[in-house]
Structure formats: structure tokens, C-alpha cells
Chain A
Amino acid sequence: NAGVTQTPKFRVLKTGQSMTLLCAQDMNHEYMYWYRQDPGMGLRLIHYSVGEGTTAKGEVPDGYNVSRLKKQNFLLGLESAAPSQTSVYFCASSMVYRVGDTEAFFGQGTRLTVV
């Protein structure tokens, strides 16, 4: 059981380049999330999805786009990378068992450097 898998694990981009980060989960979870984590800080929510075909903005959505065409996949796109987007990106998924009773499972992260 792989859980949440992020691809790639590392990437270096030049300013202005584009890329897509892939998150795949095999737990049939409805909810998926993309976070970024900067050094010494907590995680900040970029975008999230409450089901296949739906997406919504989180705390820091500017400069990112997402898509959830299949339930198991959640893609994060950077159309024109900027140095300020240098960060570690985490994907997570969760299932709600009842109100409040839910657990998020995280991937191992993607370390992105924009030069």
C-alpha cells in the first residue's frame, strides 16, 4: 500500500519555467491538499479538493493552479516559476469518517528550487 506518492522528489527550475507536481493516493480518499513549507515555518495550504473535478483556493494560491481530473490524482502547476516559490511542497489526502474524525496522510514532499 503506497499511500500518498509525490513526483518528482527534487526539481530545480529557472525563473519563468513551468512545471507540474503530481500527487497520487491509493486510499480512495475524497479530500486532497497541496501545502508549501518554507524553512522553519509551518505548512501553508495552497489549494485543496473535496472531490473529483473540484478544486478550491487555500491560504496562498497565487502563482499556482491545480486540477483533480481523477479521484486518485491531484496536480499542482506552476505556470511561470519565481524564486519566491522555492519551497518544499507536500501533498496530503484524507477521508472523513464522521465530523471531526478524520486523519490526513502526507506524501514525502517535493523540494523545489527556482533559480
Chain B
Amino acid sequence: LAKTTQPISMDSYEGQEVNITCSHNNIATNDYITWYQQFPSQGPRFIIQGYKTKVTNEVASLFIPADRKSSTLSLPRVSLSDTAVYYCLVVGDNYGQNFVFGPGTRLSVLP
């Protein structure tokens, strides 16, 4: 399993764009990069997933450079409700143990 490293915490203000970078130096060829969001007292929920280049959905964008050793989750114009913990995961063919969650990045959005 590829190990991931991301900042423990970040602060932002409402309306700003937030970028959270995750490093995964030993990512394997078949691995995808996946991000989950967790609000207090709730289970994590899927945000976005990508293999290379850029992926965008209604919630976020995911930027993956050509070497795939890092990735950046971009949240446009955050609001107070985006305050949560964000987890970066590398998901591959180890089906039973794909979802290994580190401590994540605690994002605090301030008014």
C-alpha cells in the first residue's frame, strides 16, 4: 500500500480557494488517488478520484502531475460548511485493505 502524507491542519477564510496537497511517493501503476471528506460525528464520504492529470466534479478538482507522486485537492470558494477532515487515499488492487485512512487534514474555514 502506498503511504500518503498530507498536512495535519489548514485554516482558510470563506470565499477563498483551498488547496490540500498529498504526497504518495511509492504509488503503483494500478493505483488511483481518492479523497474523502468527514464531518464531525459522521462517516467519511467520497469526494473525488483520479488517475492522472485533472479531474473535476461539482464539489472539487483533483490535480495529479505526470509522475503521480503527489496530488492536490482544490476546493473552490469554501464556505463554513466545508470545515471537515479531508483524507487522501491511494487505492489499488489490494481489495480487502484498500481504504487505509491516515490522520487526514483538518480544514477550518473561518468567517
Selecting from A11-19, A76-84, A106-114, the interface stretch reads A106-114
Interface majority SS on B: helix, strand, loop or mixed? loop
CA A56 – CA B95 in complex, angstroms?
Answer: 12
Given contacts A106-B43, A108-B43, contact A96 B32 (CB under 8 A): no
Contact of B43 among A49, A101, A107 (CB under 8 A): A107
Check A69 for interface membership: any CB of B closer than 8 A: no
Q: Is A115 an interface residue (CB 8 A)?
A: no
Q: Is the CB of B32 within 8 A of A101?
A: yes
Shortest CB distance B97–A (Å) = 7
Q: Say how far B4's CB is from chain A's closest CB, in angstroms.
A: 11
Q: Are B104 and A94 in contact (CB under 8 A)?
A: no
**In the complex the two chains form, is A100's CB within 8 Å of B51's CB?**
yes
A99–B104 touching, CB < 8 Å: no
From B30, B42, B99, B101, contact of A99 by CB (8 A): B30
B100 touching A45 by the CB < 8 A rule? Answer: yes
B13-21, B58-66, B76-84, B86-94 - the one binding chain A: B86-94
19 A-B residue pairings within 8 Å (CB atoms): A31-B95, A31-B96, A35-B101, A42-B102, A45-B100, A48-B96, A50-B95, A50-B96, A90-B44, A96-B95, A99-B30, A100-B93, A101-B32, A102-B91, A102-B98, A104-B36, A104-B99, A106-B43, A109-B42
